[in-house]
Amino acid sequence: MNITHITCSPGRTGFFFDDQAAIKRGAKTDGNTYIGDPVTPGFTKIRMAGESISVMIRLEDGQVAYGDCAAVQYSGAGGRDPVFLATDFIPIIEREIMPLLVGKPITSFREMAALVDKHIDSKTGKPLHTAIRFGVTQALLDAVARSRNKLMAQVVADEYGQTLSTQIIPIFTQSGDDRYGNTDKMIIKGADALSHGLFNTLDKLGRQGEKLIEYLHWIVKRIDELAPCDGYAPTLHMDVYGTIGMAFDNDIPRIADYFAQLEAAAKPLALRIEGPIDMGEREAQIQALAELTSQLDAREIKVEVVADEWCNTFEDVREFAERKAGHQIQIKVPDLGGINNTIEAVITCKKLGAGAYVGGTCNETDRSAQVTMHVAMATSPVQVLAKPGMGVDEAFMICYNEMQRILAISKLT
């Protein structure tokens, strides 16, 4: 079966593009935006509307496969590609992707995804923006699945030698700044991991981390009050955007001492801390997280470190996992480009004994979230991120329902 046509449409994402550097420098909120000037190149404001591009592939039997190009909320930060605007990148898809695929036969997903993911822009001499590779490979996975009358998850499992999960993957929900109201939603819905917390400034964390400790005490109490069933014991997962390092001058022993306080505050629940340190570049980040992980293990402090910043590519994921720079690695799906890289990253983490967390961003779309769930059900990571958006309800619904559909349909085939 051949590809007969490709077309694109501009879209909106489930959240915004935010200038992380400006926010870390203390930009103040004003309603649902920020006051001040942007710092990161490509931003015209500190907060900008999130944009996406739907890539639609028509097959010769008339079916249309599709995927959504989208980039992370904090584009341009931590070594990532720049802000992704539809008007800038639709012409690039038309120039580079259409000639590459139109008129060509549908073969295997692995082969077609590699063709797109490795493609070099004819004008810049560089790889295509990660968001383009992300969306086009989603559409290709859908196209292969349609050509074979299979689920996308089944195609991934077949081509990569995996076994389709017989249960949904644990869902991690993120609160954004509404870390109290949204946490109530998560508890009521029985989320497996919560609540992210968005501790992205020292003011939110507390100058000595005291506000995070207070929040953990509150959330443990709140879970006890609102638990939807007996035995409900979600994992607590907080993202701190390097602010713990800021509070303790990146002093690893002092940070480990603070983690012992966090462990006590979270009891009896398990706790993960994402992005405790941001060293500003990849090698220093790996060294710092590896040292922190080692100290926590040696001291039997049962708090897991989750790597995030500066872990943007498949090669980064493998390096962080090999060097034990974190107990769990966030595979930030749009940052890796083609979703074939996410598949390989999960498999690699599992082989190396690192926890694989299939994440992404609140700034994705419903479609990219659905395709990600197919990848997760085929590869069985530790957890998946509920996405897009920061409202909890919609993101949890999209991801939970898609995985339940996969379970139900797979029983019929």
Active site residue 332: yes
CA-based nearest residue to 156, from 169, 168, 144, 170: 144
* N- to C-terminal Cα separation, the chain: 22
Is residue 301 within 8 Å of 259, Cβ to Cβ?
yes
Is residue 318 within 8 Å of 329, Cβ to Cβ?
no
Q: Angle at CA 179, nearest 5°, toward 177 and 183? A: 140
Tell me how far apart the alpha carbons of residues 181 and 142 are, in angstroms, rounded to a whole number: 36
Report whether the peptide linkage leading into residue 195 is cis, meaning its omega lies within 30 degrees of zero.
yes
Helices 366-379/130-148 angle, 10° precision = 70
- Choosing from 221, 332, 350, 351, which is the catalytic residue? 332
Is residue 22 within 8 Å of 39, Cβ to Cβ?
yes
CA dihedral 129, 132, 133, 138 (to 10 degrees): 160
DSSP string, 303-344: EEEEE-TT--SHHHHHHHHHTT-SSEEEE-GGGGSSHHHHHH
Q: What are phi and psi of 52, to 5 degrees?
A: -140, 170
Active site residues: 332
